[in-house]
């Protein structure tokens, strides 16, 4: 870095840190301590905290506990408002801080984050933690509260975060951080990554509505078949390898399912309507996605192992993750030296590396949630289960709004299922949710052991304690071993059924189930029935939220001869592209893996456009449709922004080929919205679905285009609206092309040079919940973004006409680690900054690097950390 720039940066950092006392000299290559009087109760020694030019925290300390105390202090220093929102959300008290947040949402969270007996889940988890876990959580809490004490006393230049000023909250009104807050935040994260009650209620209500008109149409629209038949389990090892025949479709069984769901539909829709208001605080849902893969030495240029991960979460300001390097070994007697991405509020490196091992995670999408439709007793105080009346657990709990208004509510739980989220005593019906997270588990133990692991095998052993929040863990070590270990508690459901004949009705667990005892969990699947792989012959392992084993290949994961693991997983396009690129070379490098994370090749476009152009060739098109078809003909299926800068109003790129690709990508996404409307609008309206989801609609679309023999309906019936004259596939494709041609000309102009994707495909980072209304000063963007529907570089715009092309979910972190004889080297990208000080140097400072795909090195070793330190602080006791 140039000397002048370094001097300016140091000055900004000192201002941002609010250093008091004697000001340190400018950095001349040696780390300089800032004269802070930072004291954290319980410290066993003096710790050193430093920040490099990118604002990454590096902590060196005497003990593991000291490192976590310092981590807690700086988590709070840089992200306390984010932490406060999360703990209040998880514990059902957010309405006391945010006036716009409804008490009904707090009630729901208090119900969900409890045991089936109504005990707060964080209290139950605390009860099973071992002595070490408790001590380290308490150490972290001491660090957080030391920062709060500095805030209240006005020490060390600590100031109230701007977000509280917007809410007119003073420092004295902010509660101390508790150990239970940390556990609640952790369980909130696992809930967001694994629970599926909303989707199951939506599927149940919508499926029953559509099936009342046409069972065949419902089965095809709500198909579970993958769009791409590419799986993680090495070829020949999963259910797909058994060549299970397409299950015989029994309409009588499905009719029984439809009748049962129809009776419950009014209550399901009421529950969904109440949830919708809360969900809108977090923005519209989009097609989800995360990627990770690990490449063994046989496929890398340097004979090393390479691990890559980009988890896709809400893109917020500040970002979800906080980068840190904690070292209790170089100058201490501790056992931890680990670096990577942390969640503020939680003392663990969730994705990262130590001296010998690296790990990454994506959501496994195991089915770990069931929704039950309960039958109530006449007095409404019990449920009927196995012919007996089981008393409902009732607890009176107080809730309070920001205005001071207090409400005392009676919350209810069914002891063998879980919380009652909706109840109608008149119809004697209730809706309950059972989730594996309602039972206490010790994921903190898993992370501690993972942080200390010296090999893939030791990491695998550590992750046996990770039971809730099912993740695809990919692992690599410096010896060159690689592995995939998606361990979690998965319910055993031997009764699960869907399409083949079953007595009474079928019992698909991805839709609401009867609560009468017919559909009960029979424990959890043993580890040997869960997939995993280590050092496979193919030389790599990859996951992208897709079907892991091939269970959904025939549309019914209950009919594979093996226990059901997944159902509502990703359609597989990202996975197909990743596998294609990994298979294409045995000379992989860090750079090639970084480039794969940024890949914007549209496999969806590559598969759909040829059908459109084939129809267009033999048709008489309007002038506007012909222009659109010409743009699609020239498109090579990549999705750059087509702009010279990061903003949507940036000048066009100089390179004509890039502009041409940007126009093609924009034209394709504009067309896809019209194709989805032409194909599915009628059925979605009948089903009562107002918000369309790309993850679901792309399945039946691609099945109908590429594998029509897998449809239950005839092709003609699939492409025709219900109750109208028959249409052919070609008629629908052509009608969508004509509509897209005329509408794009009106919306964006007749000249394709104006259709540059980055003008329309944008992302804005906002505070969540409440989409920026809480703290508008923290909103950053809009930014022009590359990528598109189901590209590896995930940036999924809506597929519904009228909702534009903005998106809000994407790579919340990109990380690549190379492991070999020389140790571990790690590169990261973060969509934002370290803190929320809008006047400081580390607010949103890495966003443009993230947009351009320019990583920073995550420093690790003592010498390189000291050399790169911009500011160094002493923390004592």
Mean pLDDT of 13-32: 39
Which bin fits 335, alpha (ψ -120 to 50), beta or left (φ > 0)? alpha
Angstrom distance (rounded) from CA 363 to CA 488: 11
283 — pLDDT class (breaks 50, 70, 90) = very low
Which residues, other chains included, contact 204 with Cβ-Cβ below 8 Å and sequence gap of 6+?
A: 261, 264, 265, 268, 371, 511, 512
Query: What pLDDT is attached to residue 275?
Result: 84
List the Cα angle 757/763/767 in 5-degree steps.
Answer: 175
Query: For 523-563, what is each residue's pLDDT tens digit?
Result: 999 999 999 999 999 999 999 999 999 999 999 999 888 99
Query: For 558-597, what is each residue's pLDDT tens digit?
Result: 988 899 999 999 999 999 999 999 999 999 999 999 999 9
The answer as to whether 755 is a domain residue is yes
The answer as to whether 721 is a domain residue is yes
Q: Are 97 and 363 in contact (CB under 8 A)?
A: no
Mean pLDDT of 66-78: 98
Query: For 324-364, what is each residue's pLDDT tens digit?
Result: 999 999 999 999 999 999 999 999 999 999 999 999 999 99
Query: What pLDDT is attached to residue 776?
Result: 83
State both tokens at 257: 């399912």
The answer as to whether 667 is a domain residue is yes
Instruction: Kindly list the distances between the CA atom of residue 114 and the CA atoms of 111, 199, 455, 533, 863, in Å, as whole numbers in the listed order.
Output: 6, 20, 36, 34, 46
Which residues, other chains included, contact 93 with Cβ-Cβ below 8 Å and sequence gap of 6+?
A: 106, 399, 400
Between strands 871-876 and 33-39, the pairing is parallel
Angstrom distance (rounded) from CA 413 to CA 699: 36
Query: Which domain does 751 fall in, by range?
Result: 603-637+640-760
pLDDT at 648 over 50: yes
State both tokens at 217: 């149409």
Query: For 256-281, what is each residue's pLDDT tens digit?
Result: 899 999 999 999 999 999 887 555 44
**Beta partners for residue 326, in sequence order:** 59, 338
Percent of all residues in the chain with a pLDDT value above 90, rounded to a whole number = 84
The answer as to whether 530 is a domain residue is no
pTM of the model: 0.94
Angstrom distance (rounded) from CA 544 to CA 467: 20
Lowest mean pLDDT among 9-13, 294-298, 401-405: 9-13
* Residue of 330, 332, 321 lying closest to 65 (CA atoms): 332
The answer as to whether 648 is a domain residue is yes
- Describe the chain by its helix, strand, coil percentages, rounded to 5: 40, 20, 40
Query: What pLDDT is attached to residue 11?
Result: 42
The answer as to whether 227 is a domain residue is no
DSSP secondary structure, 722-767, as one string: TTS----HHHHHHHHHHHHHHHHHHHH-S-GGG--HHHHSEEEEB-
pLDDT at 703 over 80: yes
Number of domains in the chain: 1
Query: For 368-378, what is each residue's pLDDT tens digit?
Result: 999 999 999 99
157 compared with 72, residue with greater pLDDT:
72
Which residues, other chains included, contact 263 with Cβ-Cβ below 8 Å and sequence gap of 6+?
A: 373, 429
The answer as to whether 701 is a domain residue is yes
The answer as to whether 659 is a domain residue is yes
Which residues, other chains included, contact 856 with Cβ-Cβ below 8 Å and sequence gap of 6+?
A: 54, 56, 827, 828, 829, 846, 849
């Amino acid at each position: 870095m140039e000397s002048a720039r370094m001097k300016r940066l140091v000055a900004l950092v000192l201002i941002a840190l609010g250093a008091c006392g004697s000001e340190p000299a400018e950095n001349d290559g040696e780390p300089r301590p800032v004269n802070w009087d930072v004291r954290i109760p319980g410290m066993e020694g003096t710790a050193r905290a430093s920040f490099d030019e990118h604002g990454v925290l590096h902590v060196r300390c005497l003990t593991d506990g000291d490192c976590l105390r310092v981590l807690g202090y700086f988590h709070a220093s840089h992200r306390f408002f984010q932490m406060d929102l999360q703990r209040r959300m998880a514990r059902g008290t957010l309405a006391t801080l945010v006036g716009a947040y409804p008490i009904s949402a707090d009630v729901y969270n208090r119900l969900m984050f409890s045991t089936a007996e109504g005990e707060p889940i964080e209290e139950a988890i605390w009860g099973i933690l071992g002595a070490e876990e408790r001590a380290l959580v308490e150490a972290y809490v001491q660090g957080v509260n030391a920062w709060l004490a500095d805030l209240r006393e006005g020490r060390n230049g600590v100031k109230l975060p701007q977000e509280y000023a917007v809410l007119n909250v003073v420092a004295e009104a902010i509660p101390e951080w508790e150990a239970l807050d940390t556990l609640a935040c952790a369980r909130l994260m696992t809930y967001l990554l694994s629970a599926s009650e909303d989707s199951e209620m939506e599927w149940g209500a919508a499926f029953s509505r559509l099936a009342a008109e046409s069972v065949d149409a419902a089965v095809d629209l709500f198909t579970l078949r993958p769009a791409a038949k590419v799986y993680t389990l090495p070829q020949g090892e999963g259910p797909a390898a058994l060549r299970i025949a397409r299950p015989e479709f029994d309409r009588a069984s499905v009719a029984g399912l439809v009748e049962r769901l129809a009776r419950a539909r009014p209550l399901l829709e009421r529950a969904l309507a109440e949830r919708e208001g809360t969900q809108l605080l977090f923005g519209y849902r989009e097609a989800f996605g995360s990627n990770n893969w690990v490449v063994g030495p046989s496929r890398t240029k340097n004979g090393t192992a390479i691990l890559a991960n980009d988890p896709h979460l809400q893109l917020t300001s500040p970002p979800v993750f906080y980068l840190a390097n904690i070292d209790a070994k170089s100058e201490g007697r501790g056992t931890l030296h680990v670096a990577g991405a942390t969640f503020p509020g939680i003392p663990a490196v969730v994705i990262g590396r130590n001296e010998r091992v690296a790990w990454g995670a994506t959501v496994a999408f195991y089915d770990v949630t069931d929704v039950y439709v309960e039958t109530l007793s006449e007095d409404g105080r019990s449920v009927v289960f196995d012919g007996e009346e089981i008393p409902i657990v009732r607890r009176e709990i107080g809730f309070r709004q920001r205005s001071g208004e207090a409400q005392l509510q009676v919350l209810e739980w069914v002891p063998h299922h879980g919380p009652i989220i909706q109840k109608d005593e008149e119809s004697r019906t209730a809706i309950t949710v059972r989730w594996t997270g309602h039972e206490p588990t010790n994921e903190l133990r898993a992370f501690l052991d993972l942080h200390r692991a010296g090999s893939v095998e030791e990491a695998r052993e550590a992750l046996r304690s990770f039971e809730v929040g099912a993740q695809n863990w990919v692992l690599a070590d410096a010896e060159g071993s690689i592995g995939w270990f998606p361990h979690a508690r998965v319910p055993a459901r031997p009764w699960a059924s869907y399409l083949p004949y079953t007595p009474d009705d079928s019992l698909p667990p991805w839709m609401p189930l009867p609560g009468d005892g017919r559909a009960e969990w029979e424990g959890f699947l043993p580890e040997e029935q869960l997939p995993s792989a280590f050092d496979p012959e193919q030389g790599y392992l990859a996951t992208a939220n897709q079907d892991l084993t091939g269970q959904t290949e025939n549309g019914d994961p209950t009919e594979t001869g093996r226990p059901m693991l997944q159902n509502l997983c990703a359609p597989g396009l990202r996975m197909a592209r990743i596998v294609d690129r990994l298979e294409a070379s045995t000379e992989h490098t860090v750079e090639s893996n970084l480039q794969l994370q940024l890949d914007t090749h549209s496999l969806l476009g590559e598969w759909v456009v040829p059908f459109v152009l084939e129809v267009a060739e033999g048709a008489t098109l309007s002038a506007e449709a012909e222009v659109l078809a010409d743009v699609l003909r020239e498109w090579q299926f990549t999705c750059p922004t087509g702009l010279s800068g990061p903003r949507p109003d940036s000048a066009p790129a100089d390179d004509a080929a890039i502009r041409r690709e940007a126009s093609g990508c924009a034209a394709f996404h504009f067309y896809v919205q019209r194709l989805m409307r032409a194909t599915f609008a009628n059925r979605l309206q009948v089903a009562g679905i107002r918000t369309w989801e790309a993850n679901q609609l792309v399945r039946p679309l691609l099945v109908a285009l590429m594998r029509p023999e897998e449809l239950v309906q005839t092709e003609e019936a699939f492409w025709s609206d219900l109750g109208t004259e028959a249409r052919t596939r070609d008629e629908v494709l052509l009608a969508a092309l004509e509509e897209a041609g005329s509408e794009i000309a009106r919306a964006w102009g007749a000249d394709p040079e104006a259709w540059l994707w980055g003008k329309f495909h944008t992302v804005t980072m906002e505070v969540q919940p409440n989409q920026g209304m809480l703290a508008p000063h923290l909103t950053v963007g809009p930014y022009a973004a590359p990528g598109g529907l189901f590209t590896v570089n995930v940036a999924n715009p809506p597929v519904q006409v009228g909702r534009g092309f903005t998106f809000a979910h994407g790579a919340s972190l990109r990380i690549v680690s190379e492991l070999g004889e020389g140790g571990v080297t790690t590169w990261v990208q973060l969509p934002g900054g370290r803190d929320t000080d809008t006047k400081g140097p580390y607010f949103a400072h890495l966003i443009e690097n993230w947009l351009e795909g320019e990583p920073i090195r995550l420093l690790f070793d003592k010498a390189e950390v000291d050399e790169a330190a911009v500011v160094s602080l002493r923390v004592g006791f």
